[in-house]
Structure 1
Amino acid sequence: MKLGFLTACLPQLPLADIAAWASENDYQALEVAVWPKVGGRDFEASHIDVAHFDDAQADDVRALFDKHGLALSSLAYYENNLHPDVERREEIAAHLLHAVDAAARLGVETVGTFIGRHPGLSVKENAELAERTFPRLVDYAGERGVKIIIENCVMEGWHPDGYPGNIAYSPELWEWMFSLGLYLNYDPSHLLWIGIDPVTALKPYVDRIPHAQAKDTQLDPAARDRYGFFGKTLSREHPWDEGWWRYRVPGLGQVDWNGVVDALYEGGFTGVLSVEHEDPVWGGTEEKVKQGLRIAHRTLSPLIVG
C-alpha cells in the first residue's frame, strides 16, 4: 500500500509543483484531477488536459513522476454521469472517455468518477438509467485495460433537498454497480455520517477496491438533534450546508483509521490510499491546504507498511 493525495485540493498549482511538494513531504503517489479546463464547480482542477493529450505529453507526465519517485494512482473526474440534461450527460461521458484514453496512454489502471443521479427520478429509476448508460463506458475502458472506479460519496448537494445525488452510497448499491463491471473507490468519510460503520462495510468488498481515498468526518450529534439526519432545510445557506457534520483531514474526525487500514491489508489491498482534502479548517489558502496534507500524512503514514 502507498499513501498519496488527490491533486484537486491545489487547483491553482501546476502538476510539476504539486509533484515536487508531494515528494519533498514523503507522499508516494498522486491521484490526478482531470476535470475539463472550463468547468462548473469552483473546486474543479485540471492538472492533465485529457481532452488534448498525446503520446508526447504522456512521456512528459511519466518523466515527471519518475523524477520525483511517485506513482500516478488514478485519474479523477467525479461528475454526474446521470445528469438530467441529456446533452450535458453526453458531454460528461465524452470527457470520461478522454480520461480513459489518457489513463491507457499513461499505463494508469483506474479512472474515478460518480454514477450520479437524475434528481427527478427514484433510486430504482436511476439504477435503470445507469444500466443503459454505463455498459458502453465500462466496455470502452475495459478494452483499454482501464477500470472505472466509483467513489461512494453521497453528493447530497446535487439534490435540491440534500438527499443522495450519487447512487453509490451503500453496500447494497455497491453490489448492484459491481454487476455493471464498475469498481469502488472506497472513502470511509461518507459512510460515517449516513450511519454505516466504515470498517464493517469495507471488509466484504476489498477485492473490488483497486483504489481508496482517505477523508475524515467530524460529527455534531447535538446539531443533528435540531436538524435531523438530512441536515438543515430552511436555514441551509448553500447546497452543502448540512449543519451537523463536516469533512476533515484524516486524524481530525471520527473515522477509525487503524480499523480501515487494517481491513484493507487483511483483504489483500495493494493499491494507493489517496487523501482527499476537503477540510474547511485547513483550506482557503495554499499553505493551509498543505498543512492539512501534512496532518493527514502524520496520521496515516505510521499505519502503512513500507
Structure 2
Amino acid sequence: MSELKPSRIKLGMLTACLPSWDLDKIAGYAAGRGYQALEVAVWPGTGGRDFEAAHLPVATFTGEDEERTRALLDRHGLEISALAYYENHLHPDPEQRAAYGTHLKHAIDTAQRLGIPYVGTFIGRDWTKPVAENLAEAERIFPGYVEYAGERGVKLIIENCVMEGWHPDGYPGNLAYSPELWEWMFDLGLYLNWDPSHLTWIGIDPVETIAPYADRIVHAQAKDVELRPHDRQRYGHFGPARDRTKNAWDMGWWRYRVPGRGQVDWGTVLDRLYEHGFTGTLSVEHEDPVWGGTPEKVVQGLDIAHSTLRPLIVA
C-alpha cells in the first residue's frame, strides 16, 4: 500500500476586501482567526475602483519595506501565497495597457524580493475587437511577461473570472474563463488561480475541471455564488441588457457569496483537490454583498468562510 503524503493545503484570504485596513491590521485579524496565508492586493491605490486595495507599495518597494514585511509575517506566523494585481492587459487604450504592464512588473520584482512564488492577474480583453484578434495580441504580449517572471523565479497565475463588467454588453472581458481558453493560455506559460464561483454561473461544473488541469492549478480562490433561476427567466443567461448602465456588474440572476452561502459543494471541491495532489493555498475572495459594506461586516463574512472551509482542510 502506498504511503499517503501529508496535506500541505493552507487556508488563506485575499486582502482586497479590506482596502481601508493596512496589512498589519489584516494580518492580525487573519492570524487570530486561524487563516494561514495572505493573498496580498497590490494595486497602485489610485482609487479608480473600490476594490483597488494597495497593501504593499510594489512600485516603490525598498529594502526597508522588505524588512518590515518580513517582520510582520514572522510576528503573525503567516505567509504570502501570492500578490494580486488583476488588470486588463489587453485594454484598448495603449497608455493604460502600458501602465498595467509596468505595474505588473513591479509586482513580480516585489514577489522575487520576498520569495513569493506567484503573482495573480488577468488576460483581459480589448472589447472593440473580436476574440481571435485578442488571442493573437495576448500571444504577442504575454510571453514577455512570462519570461520576465520566470527569470525572477515567479509564476504568473490567471484567475478564471469572466469580468463581464469590463465589456459594455456584459460579455466576457477576461479571456480565461473556460477550460478551452485555459489550454490556450497554458501554452503561453501561464498557470491558473482556480475559482469555482465563475465556472458555476457560466454552466461549467467546477469539480469536473480539477482532474484534467491539476498540474496547472497552483493556487485557488474560495468564492461562492448564489444562483437565482427565477430571475434568469427574465434576463436570460447574459443578464440585463437595457439596464446595464445602472450597474455593469449586476447580472440580475446571480451574485457572489462567501463560501457556505451559495451553490458550490466545498466538501467535494476539497476532496477532489486533495485527490489530485493540490498542495497550494485556498484563498478566500470575499465579494459577498450581504456580508459587505463595512469592515465589520466584511470580517463577519470572512469568519463565515473560515468556519465553512477550515473543517474540510486536513490538519
Deviation at 1:154, TM superposition (A): 0.1
Matches within 5 A, 1:1-306: 1-236=9-244, 237-306=246-315
How far 1:139 moved relative to its partner?
Answer: 0.2
The equivalent of 2:4 in structure 1 is none
Equivalent residue letter for 1:255: V
Corresponding letter in the other structure for 1:84: P
The Cα shift of 1:39 comes to 4.3
Deviates more, 1:34-43 or 1:216-225: 34-43
Q: Distance in 2 between matches of 1:78 and 1:235?
A: 26
- 1:215-265 Cα shifts (integer Å, max 9, x gaps): 000000010111000001112321001100000000000011111111111
Residues in 2 aligned to 1:122 and 1:62: alpha-carbon distance in whole angstroms: 45
**Counterpart Cα distance in 1 of 2:233 and 2:222:** 27
Spell out, residue by residue over 1:30-61, the C-alpha distance to the aligned partner (whole angstroms, 9 max, x if none). 10000003142122100001000022211211
Secondary structure in 2 matching 1:112: strand
Structure 1 residue runs without a partner (length 5+): none
Confirm or deny: 8 A CA contact 1:55 1:105 kept in the other structure: no
Aligned AA (1:145): G
2-structure distance, mates of 1:181, 1:55: 30
Amino acid paired to 1:77: Y
Report the residue type matching 1:19 in the other structure.
Answer: A
- Report if the CA contact (8 A) 1:183-1:209 is conserved: yes
Unaligned runs of 5+ in 2: 1-8
Structure 2: how far apart are the matches of 1:51 and 1:151? 22
What displacement does 1:273 show? 0.2
- CA deviations 1:160-214 (Å, max 9, x no partner) are 0100000000000000000000000000000000000000012211111111100
How far, CA to CA, are the matches of 1:122 and 1:260 in structure 2? 34
Instruction: Measure how far apart 1:71 and its partner are.
Output: 1.3
SS in 2 for 1:78: coil
Question: Normalising to structure 1: TM-score of the pair?
Answer: 0.99
Q: Tell me, what secondary structure is at the counterpart of 2:210?
A: helix
Q: How many residues matched? A: 306
Question: What is the root-mean-square deviation of aligned Cα atoms in Å?
Answer: 0.8
The SS at the match of 1:74 is strand
C-alpha distance in structure 2 between counterparts of 1:150 and 1:123, whole Å: 18
Give the structure 1 partner of residue 3 of structure 2: none
Residues 38-90 of structure 1: CA distance to partner in whole angstroms, max 9, x if unpaired? 14212210000100002221121111111111111000000001000111101
Q: Secondary structure at the match of 2:256?
A: strand
Q: 1:113 and 1:247 mapped to 2: Cα distance? A: 19
What TM-score, normalized by structure 2, do the two folds share? Answer: 0.96
Q: Write the letter of the residue equivalent to 2:122.
A: F
Q: Secondary structure at the match of 2:189?
A: coil
The alignment partner of 1:80 has SS state of coil
